[in-house]
Amino acid sequence: MLLKTSLRSFFAHKGRMALSLIAVVLSVAFVSGTLVFSNTATATFDKLFATTASDISVRQAVPEANDDEQGGDGERGKPRTVPVETEQKIAALPGVKSVRGEVSVQNAVLTNPLTNKVVGPTSGAPTITGSWHDNQNMLKITSGKAPAGTGQIMLDADTAKKAGLGIGSKLRAITANGDHDFTISGIATFQTTNPGAALAFMDLPTAQNYLLGKTALSSVEVTGDGSKSNGELKAAALATLGDGYKVLTAEEQKAEGKADMGFLDYMKYAMLGFAGISLLVGGFLIINTFSMLVAQRTREIGLLRAIGGSRSQVNRSVLIEALILGVLGSTLGLLAGIGLAIGLIQLMKATGMNLSSADLEIGASVPIASYAVGVVITVLAAWIPARRASRISPMAALRDHGTPAEARANRIRAAIGVLLTAGGAALLAAAAGASTASSGGQLLGLGVVLSLVGLVVIGPLLSTSVIRVLGAALPALFGPSGKLAQRNATRNPRRTGATAAALMIGLALVTGASVVTSSMVSSANEQIDQSVGADYVVASRTNADLTPAMVTAAQGTQGLKHLTLQKSLPVEYLTPDGKRSKEHLAAATKTFVDDFRIPVESGSAQAAFEVGGVAVGSEFAKEHSLRTGDRITADYGQGHTQQLTVGLIIKANSDMFQGTFANLETVTKAVPVAEQPADKAMFAVVADGADPAKVLAALEDSLKAYPQLMITDKAGYKEIIQSQVNTLLYMVYGLLGLAIVVAVLGVVNTLALSVVERTREIGLLRAIGLSRRQLRRMIRLESVVIAIFGALLGTGLGLAWGITSQQVLADSGVALLTVPVTTIVVILLASAVIGLLAALLPAFRAGRMNVLAAIATD
Amino acid sequence: MTTAASAVKDQQLSGGPEAPAAAARQVTKAYGAGETRVTALDAVDVDIHRGRFTAIMGPSGSGKSTLMHCLAGLDTVSEGRIWIGDTEITGLKDRQLTKLRRDKIGFIFQSFNLLPTLNALENITLPMDIAGRKPDAAWLDTVVSTVGLADRLKHRPTQLSGGQQQRVAVARALAARPEIIFGDEPTGNLDSRSGSEVLTFLRRSVDELGQTIVMVTHDPVAASYADRVLFLADGRLVDEMHAPTADSVLERMRRFDGKRTS
């Protein structure tokens, strides 16, 4: 019986349910879409790494600091190599079936000598150049033949197609050992998913000669005969080879490969963020929908109680309706999510990663998560209204009034709300004043949550007073419609509060994010202005290093006052407190101090760039109680160590000067030039009296053979930072869009119900002469007032969050607070527009209402 | 049955003190079509005299409410013509009807007369607010004191008793000085004491303020406050009575009942 009533009532209110349904569908779609996509990607890459991994792989060991960021070789420093004899040594081990020495580097850049353009990806996925061997299952030669001899190279089909190259085309490889032109002898096609990388192959001697510059190997790949486990093989290999080697089992190689796919995780978290937002906002929508349904049915429920329905029956009947909504929404959301995943896969294809939508991995986790999220959220959100429904007394059936008693915000709620909000504010204040970024971050997180919950709780109370102020001008501006709208907006504070809260959440997030990002940009710009003295920065677009040929070419440019060279080394410091800590050391020629004004806490840049000096960050100095003049030991690995004197402690508010800095000459004392990594960047200053434009042209001309290089001036640097921030902002705006869509549904919902609830009132107004136009205006104004109220709360909260975040990040490079006034004004105006849009349908329906039917007495 | 002859209509509509405040000629209101056609009003002719208190009575389903709704421009007629003052309202568009209701008509409903968000005074001045007119302060004072609400003006409807709420509704109807006030069972929801209070005010507004009032009721006592009672049955005007008393009205109504049971 109960189920039947619930079902009937559900379908009787399908219009209202549809709005809530959309919210559920949206959130579930994001959850299931994310899971399907990441499952598919993981499965595909697992397959890829499984086909490429050998049983064990023997490589050169490097200091750990080099390993912490990127497993790939060539990212920093020189390509790792093992001597060729390693191959024989391993082959002799028991349990080894076959061994193969390989060359593979990521620091070679491929260009098309005819167009002088980079071949292969310039960001994200790597360009891998190495030795070709037939016996592999990742690639197959699909046209031409394997490279043989010094002039031949083979390219993967996807890259060749993108670059418009074919067999016989010229391809240039630019490495630390010079530039070499090759002829494409063959094209190989991926047999598995191409993760977007470019691959080029030479024969082994050619690869050794050009890519490594010596007869060595990047790695020795070992296949066992099955008599020993990979772990045993690894142990045996390590025992035979001794120090200086790293051996990875197939499992470890897979893990390494997966670490390179970290951006997929970012995508996953971003999408789950979207899901979270729509869930949160959707939750409010569901609470509101069910509250209204319950309010509307007060008499009906009273009757049910009067004829003997129990409280729990009433409660259950509401929850069953929510359950129906949840199941329906989850099912639709699940389907929409699979569609979303397919869309994402297509999107990834466009960026060069060939995931196949035919291999869609859905698995059991996706429907489980979808239904869990959709149903649980819906039922939870309906919980409060259901409880309220069960409290309706049988007397309600007898009461004459069609309109339900208007909910008044009570005192306990007020007290809790004020307490939470005040607590949130106090936490935010504490976060802003926190001494370290990490403790500030924790306080900030807690403060954000508390202030959000607090405002949601006191939203209804605030609505009364804020809307009274907001709406004060309405009667004067819009006459009776304005007056009625103002009163209507405050008559059900709980409903107004919940509706506005849905809007508030999205806007608070966006406002907060835009305060932080604009502060980041302005702080970075200020830092560039203050710290950068160099006119031009030359660095590679890809993750390859600069080559000696490039440095020579740049040094020959006319009109340069000087050219500073900088390289980056992994280092481990032994400090007087006895601790060892891994750091990066930027080693630069002495003119570095003219190119950059490093903010000083104590000491001087000059002292740090004396031979034997070093500059360290203030956090590092604090952690190890260092002062200028203290001596620390630097360990560069391979037995190279040296004593350094702290000449400068860098002020802590700088994002630009991370890690430690020293003169290149200092490092050369410990690490022979031949073992030093290649240069990472060059900084140029124009000679006094020279025309900067001419010098720039000359510099560009000297480096024109290297399209992978980017010559940036200060303005260009600022643009790069702006564009990096923009990527973040676009995501934030995406979130905003979604939050607004769901919030608009909420406003529509609230207004539609208000119109239905006030049928008789509207009839009365029309009878005594309110025109349709005035009536519609009244509803629109009510909507706008609610929307602006939500927007005010949202931007206020967002400002508090944003400003606090900036304070917390002040020592991490976001020293300058910039409030994006335009954005905030746009948000407020947009919210008014949102209000107007949301009111369109309810206002239209109210206008069409039959006066007579509305006032007819029953 | 029709006492107001069609012959004098044109002359009456030319205005003047003797012109009716409202008139209906051959008004028919039917719902549905063919076999399911229901005739709520069947060729009704009626004149509502200016400055008089008219009651419309009849058994349930007689069409009395429909007649009032049509006269007030809330409902459309199937056939026939209706005038409010010298304005013919049949055929007017919604916007013109709205303006007419706003400027020339006052309403008192059985229940739910007041906007809960406005206080008593705001409710009283609402029609003028909507029309964008300033209330005449002296007149407003007169009306408010007549209905005896001077000390309740800042109260919200929920803080007023049923009788007080209806008095506010009466005051609202009077305040804009409409040509005619329509009451749809204005005392239907009140106990007899509150009901007689409200009726007394209506009576006084006719006697002292010269207001024209049309009231639909099924209560002979309420009808006895009127100058003239029109009796409707089966959509036709079947009788009328001047200077009615509760007893005479009750007597007349009994005849409907008798007719129905026989």
The topology (CATH level 3) of B49-77+89-261 is Rossmann fold (3.40.50)
pLDDT at B212: 93
What distance in Å separates residue B198's CA from the closest CA in chain A?
19
Q: CB of A553 within 8 A of CB of A705?
A: yes
Instruction: Read off φ and ψ for residue A629, nearest 5 degrees.
Output: 100, -20
* Contact with chain A for residue B93, Cβ under 8 A: no
Helix axes B120-131, B137-147, angle to 10 degrees: 140
pLDDT at A800: 92
pLDDT category of residue A263 using cuts at 50, 70 and 90: low
Helix (H) or strand (E) holding B53: strand B53-57
The region that residue B112 occupies, defined by phi over 0 for left and psi between -120 and 50 for alpha, beta otherwise, is: left
Q: E strands within A687-819?
A: 709-712
Nearest to A484 among B101, B106, B117 (CB): B117
Closest of A580, A592, A588 to residue A641, by C-alpha: A580
Rounded Cα distance, A318 and A298, in Å? 12
Residue A672 has pLDDT above 90, yes or no: no
Task: Please give the mean pLDDT across all residues of chain A.
Answer: 82
Tokens 């290999």 -> residue: A237
Are B117 and A480 inside 8 Å of each other by CB?
no
Rounded Cα distance, A827 and A507, in Å? 8
Q: CB of B216 within 8 A of CB of B185?
A: yes
Checking ipTM against 0.95, whether it exceeds it is no
Chains A–B, number of C-beta pairs less than 8 Å apart: 84
Q: How many CB atoms lie within 10 A of CB A228?
A: 17
Rounded Cα distance, A201 and B22, in Å? 101
What distance in Å separates residue A399's CA from the closest CA in chain B?
13
Helix axes B162-175, B137-147, angle to 10 degrees: 150
* Contact with chain B for residue A624, Cβ under 8 A: no
Q: Which residues of A touch B185 (CB under 8 A)?
A: 857
Q: Which residues pair with A119 in a beta bridge?
A: A110
Exposed, middle or buried by CB within 10 Å (0-12, 13-18, 19+), for B107? buried
Helix (H) or strand (E) holding A146: none
pLDDT at A176: 78
Residue range A188-239, pLDDT digits in tens: 988 777 777 888 999 989 988 888 888 888 888 888 888 888 888 888 888 8
**Buried b or exposed e, range B83-92, using 16+ CB within 10 angstroms:** bbbebebbeb
* Contact with chain A for residue B94, Cβ under 8 A: yes
Nearest to A487 among B74, B118, B132 (CB): B118
Rg (CA), chain B: 18
* Contact with chain B for residue A710, Cβ under 8 A: no
Q: Which residues of A touch B105 (CB under 8 A)?
A: 769
Tokens 């391993």 -> residue: A90
* Contact with chain A for residue B157, Cβ under 8 A: no
Q: Which residues of chain B have pLDDT under 70?
A: 1-18, 257-262
Q: CB of A77 within 8 A of CB of A66?
A: yes
Q: Which residues of B touch A477 (CB under 8 A)?
A: none
Tell me the pairing of strands B213-216 and B53-57: parallel
CA–chain centroid gap for A128, Å, is 26
**3-state SS string over A47-106?**
HHHHHHCCCEEEEECCCHHHHCCCCCCCCCCCCCCEECHHHHHHHCCCCEEEEEEECEEC
Query: CA–CA distance from B169 to each of B57, B68, B121, B186 (Å)?
Result: 22, 18, 10, 9
Residue A74 has pLDDT above 70, yes or no: no
Query: CA–CA distance from A156 to each of A135, A138, A188, A196, A354 (Å)?
Result: 16, 11, 5, 11, 13
Instruction: Read off φ and ψ for residue A583, nearest 5 degrees.
Output: -145, 170
More confident residue, A500 or A656: A500
Rounded Cα distance, A216 and A458, in Å? 70
* Contact with chain B for residue A403, Cβ under 8 A: yes
Rounded Cα distance, A155 and A200, in Å? 5
Q: Which residues of B touch A480 (CB under 8 A)?
A: 126, 129-130
Exposed, middle or buried by CB within 10 Å (0-12, 13-18, 19+), for A641? middle
Instruction: Read off φ and ψ for residue A354, nearest 5 degrees.
Output: -90, 75
CA–chain centroid gap for B5, Å, is 22
* Contact with chain A for residue B134, Cβ under 8 A: no
Residue range A567-586, pLDDT digits in tens: 888 888 988 888 888 888 88
Q: How many CB atoms lie within 10 A of CB A350?
A: 7
Residue range A601-611, pLDDT digits in tens: 888 888 888 88
pLDDT category of residue A182 using cuts at 50, 70 and 90: very high
Q: E strands within A529-619?
A: 536-540, 560-574, 580-588, 600-603, 613-617
Best of B69, B102, B111, B130 to substitute, by most chain A Cβ atoms within 10 angstroms, is: B130
Rounded Cα distance, A813 and A806, in Å? 9
The region that residue A504 occupies, defined by phi over 0 for left and psi between -120 and 50 for alpha, beta otherwise, is: alpha
Closest of B37, B58, B38 to residue B46, by C-alpha: B58
Rounded Cα distance, A250 and B224, in Å? 104
Q: Which residues pair with A200 in a beta bridge?
A: A129, A155
Best of B69, B74, B119, B165 to substitute, by most chain A Cβ atoms within 10 angstroms, is: B74
* Contact with chain A for residue B117, Cβ under 8 A: yes
CA–chain centroid gap for A182, Å, is 40
Residue range A467-507, pLDDT digits in tens: 888 878 888 788 888 888 888 888 888 788 888 888 888 88
Highest mean pLDDT among A284-293, A609-618, A741-750, A809-818: A609-618
Residue A541 has pLDDT above 80, yes or no: no
pLDDT category of residue A260 using cuts at 50, 70 and 90: low
Give the start-to-end residue ranges of the domains of chain A: 1-53+262-405, 72-229, 459-532+714-858, 536-712
Q: CB of A652 within 8 A of CB of A601?
A: yes
**Buried b or exposed e, range B33-56, using 16+ CB within 10 angstroms:** eeeeeebbbbbbbbbbbbebbbbb
What distance in Å separates residue B73's CA from the closest CA in chain A?
9
Mean pLDDT of A152-170: 88
Are B94 and A772 inside 8 Å of each other by CB?
yes
Q: Which residues of B touch A851 (CB under 8 A)?
A: 74
List all residues 6 or more positions away from A626 whose beta carbon is below 8 Å from its beta carbon: A575, A576, A616, A620, A632, A646, A649
Rounded Cα distance, A684 and A9, in Å? 75
Q: Which residues of A touch B126 (CB under 8 A)?
A: 480, 765, 768
pLDDT at A8: 77
Residue range A374-424, pLDDT digits in tens: 898 888 888 888 888 888 777 766 654 444 444 454 677 788 888 888 998
Best of B89, B93, B112 to substitute, by most chain A Cβ atoms within 10 angstroms, is: B112
Nearest to B98 among A760, A769, A857 (CB): A769
Q: CB of A569 within 8 A of CB of A77?
A: yes
Best of B129, B177, B179, B185 to substitute, by most chain A Cβ atoms within 10 angstroms, is: B129
Q: Which residues of A touch B113 (CB under 8 A)?
A: 764
Closest of A204, A210, A234 to residue A222, by C-alpha: A234
Q: How many CB atoms lie within 10 A of CB B234?
A: 15
Residue A71 has pLDDT above 50, yes or no: no
Rounded Cα distance, A220 and B76, in Å? 95
**3-state SS string over B106-136?**
EEECCCCCCCCCCCHHHHHHHHHHHHCCCCC
Rounded Cα distance, A314 and A294, in Å? 10
Q: How many CB atoms lie within 10 A of CB A244?
A: 12
For CA atoms B213, B214, B219, B220, the dihedral sign is: positive
Q: Which residue of chain B has the CA closest to A492?
A: B117
Residue range A318-353, pLDDT digits in tens: 888 888 889 999 999 999 988 888 888 887 777 666
Residue range A454-467, pLDDT digits in tens: 888 888 888 888 88
Are B129 and A772 inside 8 Å of each other by CB?
no
What distance in Å separates residue A473's CA from the closest CA in chain B?
16
pLDDT at A57: 86
pLDDT at B81: 92
Q: CB of A171 within 8 A of CB of A83?
A: no
Closest of B205, B95, B79, B98 to residue B147, by C-alpha: B205
The least confident of A103-117, A123-137, A496-510 is A123-137
pLDDT at A69: 39
Residues 222-261 of B with CB under 8 A from A: none
* Contact with chain B for residue A204, Cβ under 8 A: no
Rounded Cα distance, A225 and B14, in Å? 118
Q: Which two tokens stand for residue B101?
A: 């209701």
CA–chain centroid gap for A735, Å, is 12
Are B113 and A764 inside 8 Å of each other by CB?
yes
pLDDT at B4: 41
CA–chain centroid gap for A462, Å, is 34
Rounded Cα distance, B50 and B19, in Å? 7
Length of chain A in terms of residues written: 858
pLDDT category of residue A63 using cuts at 50, 70 and 90: low
Rounded Cα distance, A83 and A101, in Å? 10
Nearest to A479 among B102, B109, B129 (CB): B129
Residue range A15-40, pLDDT digits in tens: 767 777 887 888 888 888 888 888 88
Tell me if residue B162 falls in helix, strand or coil: helix
Best of A768, A777, A781, A849 to substitute, by most chain B Cβ atoms within 10 angstroms, is: A768
pLDDT at A484: 87
CA-angle at A810, arms to A805 and A813, nearest 5°: 115
Q: Which two tokens stand for residue A611?
A: 């031979």
Give the start-to-end residue ranges of the domains of chain B: 49-77+89-261
